[in-house]
Structure 1
């Protein structure tokens, strides 16, 4: 004797018939309209082609500037999500390894801190409306500072102070 369901009675048959009449149009619409018109790839696998960055654009090329800015916004969203995922992994590790999480979660903490540092170097202090030109100028100013004074955070060189 196998596992059999409850015996069929008039009430369960009526409920099955009612559910079938409600479900059939939705099932037909999904199979015949939605799935046939859906593209063959999921939307989240769409890859944008890389465009020239802002330093490769001419100063009067507005289209190049807009494309570079849109690419910058997409890159910032991706980098922010990567940072979010690393943060959540670190928090989950800390929660799961509660008493001695400092040793066991140290690699995740280091990866998160390095990613957060890199994110701040690129996007920090730009604000919500910072665009690709602002980020490019920030990078340029950082490179000039490092050429004159050494890497940021290492203290200023004594011989270059005027």
Structure 2
């Protein structure tokens, strides 16, 4: 509010009511909250890394829950990374309009590699999946590659 004198009794009453509620809150904020608050050099919440699903005991539901929450946060971060790569490619195509095939090739290669990696980790899991299904997908993929070679190259011939 402005520091000028109130013009009438209504404005004076409103200012006194405002001060009645605002002054204690401002006092608490400036003397207690701000001095005890930690300032961080980042703009998002940082979570500690928790054990992955393969490090949890089979009878530890708390560890499963923490691993699942870590997996969900990692998936959100990977989705955002992919979104940023897609946006960079689209911006490059718009900026380099007729020559975008040559000028945006490196960005397109990064985006294709990112989508391939994303699909390797999260693809074909369905809408309602968790860390356990993703771990089973990884385990089955490793077993396949041990028996038949890398996925996508076909099966090895039997000797």
If the TM-score is normalised by the length of the shorter chain, which range does it land in?
0.7 to 0.9
- The number of residues matched between the two structures is 141
Which residue in the other structure is 1:152 paired with?
Answer: 151
Q: CA deviation at 1:125?
A: 1.3
Which residue in the other structure is 2:82 paired with?
Answer: 83
RMSD: 3.0
Which residue in the other structure is 2:65 paired with?
Answer: 66
Structure 1 unaligned segments of length 5 or more: list them.
1-16
Q: CA deviation at 1:44?
A: 3.3
Which residue in the other structure is 2:107 paired with?
Answer: 108
Structure 2 unaligned segments of length 5 or more: list them.
5-10, 12-17
Task: For residue 45 of structure 1, give the secondary structure of its aligned residue in structure 2.
Answer: coil
Cα distance between partner residues in 1 of 2:28 and 2:98: 54
Cα distance between partner residues in 2 of 1:73 and 1:34: 34
Which residue in the other structure is 1:52 paired with?
Answer: 51
Cα distance between partner residues in 2 of 1:120 and 1:44: 29
**What is the CA deviation profile of residues 12-59 of structure 1, one whole-angstrom value per residue up to 9, with x for unaligned ones?**
xxxxx8xxx9xxx7xx89x87778846433783321111110000011
Which residue in the other structure is 2:7 paired with?
Answer: none
Which residue in the other structure is 1:8 paired with?
Answer: none
Which residue in the other structure is 1:134 paired with?
Answer: 133
Cα distance between partner residues in 1 of 2:27 and 2:105: 52
Cα distance between partner residues in 1 of 2:100 and 2:124: 32
**Taking structure 1 as the reference length, what is the TM-score of the superposition?**
0.74
Task: For residue 87 of structure 1, give the secondary structure of its aligned residue in structure 2.
Answer: helix
Distance 1:108 1:32, change over 3 A: farther
Task: For residue 89 of structure 2, give the secondary structure of its aligned residue in structure 1.
Answer: helix
**Taking structure 2 as the reference length, what is the TM-score of the superposition?**
0.76
Cα distance between partner residues in 1 of 2:29 and 2:94: 42
Q: Does 1:124 align with 2:113?
A: no
Distance 1:103 1:43, change over 3 A: closer
